[in-house]
């Protein structure tokens, strides 16, 4: 297979070929970065707004009494 001749197939294999310690370091960096983003106030506000919109749509659909409306309310994207 041609791709096998080209070298590493996954990001992990590529990182391992470049530097054996790079995969754990990259994982730690990405984890720390994600936690930093999640800890920000604006991220929390955005997530709360999305959840609130979804809950409100679901409640409105439930009060309409139609399972189809409830399903559509859940499936509708919250972002505008």
User: How far apart (Å, rounded) are the C-alpha atoms in residues 57 and 34?
Assistant: 29
Question: CB within 8 A of 70, min separation 6: which ones?
Answer: 58, 61, 62, 64
The number of distinct structural domains making up the chain is 2
User: How far apart (Å, rounded) are the C-alpha atoms in residues 45 and 43?
Assistant: 5
Domain span including residue 47: 41-80
pTM of the entire structure?
0.47
Same domain, yes or no, for 30 and 19?
A: yes
Same domain, yes or no, for 55 and 75?
A: yes
CB 40 within 8 A of CB 11: no
pLDDT tens across the length of the chain (80 residues): 444 556 667 877 887 788 878 878 888 999 999 999 999 999 999 999 999 999 999 888 888 776 665 566 666 655 54
User: How far apart (Å, rounded) are the C-alpha atoms in residues 56 and 17?
Assistant: 50
Same domain, yes or no, for 35 and 55?
A: no
Same domain, yes or no, for 1 and 35?
A: yes
């Amino acid at each position: 297979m041609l791709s096998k001749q080209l070298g590493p197939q996954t990001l992990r294999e590529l990182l391992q070929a470049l530097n054996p310690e790079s995969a754990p370091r990259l994982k730690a960096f990405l984890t720390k970065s994600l936690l930093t983003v999640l800890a920000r106030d604006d991220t929390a506000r955005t997530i709360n707004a999305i959840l609130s919109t979804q809950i409100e749509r679901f409640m409105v659909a439930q009060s309409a009494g139609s399972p189809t409306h409830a399903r559509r309310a859940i499936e509708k994207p919250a972002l505008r």
